[in-house]
């Protein structure tokens, strides 16, 4: 009788391990295919670096005029709300006091070669977290005069998605 109980226990344990492993594998697969994500790359001396994948921009056909240039409304490719363009960017996140942070884009040309960038609001799911999001409010980004890098302001973290990512 004891050996039957051992066999039953071992069988149940194997099923539990099998299903928990496959569940974690599916979670990782699902997380890696989200269009608006962040993944922690490094965390040293108060600076965290994230690789972010963001969907930004819309087609010229769907653009009523994104920015004013020379007195005219013009379309700026891959900028503003929408999901036609995917950008992969490395951002160093630093505290600006309290619960807000700022982020410096690692490579000045990862977002665009232009001098400004229309960043829509985005909630980026942090891969490998327990459901946390890195949130970037809508803002106009300009190149820093010294470094040429773009700087995201008022970044904050949350346990829920704060923006719809439209």
- 51 and 106 housed in the same domain: yes
Q: Is residue 140 part of a domain?
A: yes
Average pLDDT of the chain is 80
* Spatial separation of the C-alpha atoms in residues 64 and 75, rounded to whole Å: 8
**CB-based contact 155:103 (threshold 8 Å):** yes
Q: Is residue 164 part of a domain?
A: no
Q: Is residue 69 part of a domain?
A: yes
Q: Between 28 and 121, whose confidence is greater?
A: 121
Range of the domain at 4: 1-33
Q: Is residue 74 part of a domain?
A: yes
* Spatial separation of the C-alpha atoms in residues 81 and 66, rounded to whole Å: 10
Q: Is residue 41 part of a domain?
A: yes
Span 64-73, pLDDT tens digits: 666 677 787 7
Query: In this model, does residue 24 exceed pLDDT 60?
Result: no
- 6 and 62 housed in the same domain: no
- 23 and 101 housed in the same domain: no
End-to-end CA distance of the chain: 61
Instruction: Record the tokens describing residue 106, joined without a space.
Output: 């690692």
pTM of the model: 0.74
Q: Is residue 119 part of a domain?
A: yes
Q: Is residue 59 part of a domain?
A: yes
* Spatial separation of the C-alpha atoms in residues 31 and 38, rounded to whole Å: 10
């Amino acid at each position: 009788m004891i050996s039957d109980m051992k066999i039953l226990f071992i069988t149940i344990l194997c099923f539990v391990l099998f299903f928990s492993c496959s569940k974690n594998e599916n979670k990782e697969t699902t997380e890696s295919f989200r269009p608006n994500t962040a993944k922690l790359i490094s965390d040293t001396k108060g600076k965290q670096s994230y690789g972010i994948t963001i969907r930004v921009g819309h087609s010229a056909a769907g653009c009523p005029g994104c920015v004013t240039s020379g007195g005219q409304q013009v379309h700026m490719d891959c900028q503003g709300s929408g999901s036609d363009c995917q950008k992969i960017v490395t951002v160093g996140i630093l505290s600006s006091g309290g619960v807000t942070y700022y982020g410096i884009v690692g490579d000045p040309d990862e977002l665009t070669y232009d001098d400004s960038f229309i960043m829509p609001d985005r909630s980026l799911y942090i891969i490998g977290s327990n459901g946390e999001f890195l949130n970037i409010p809508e803002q106009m980004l300009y190149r820093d005069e010294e470094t040429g890098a773009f700087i995201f302001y008022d970044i904050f973290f949350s346990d829920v998605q704060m923006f719809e990512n439209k």
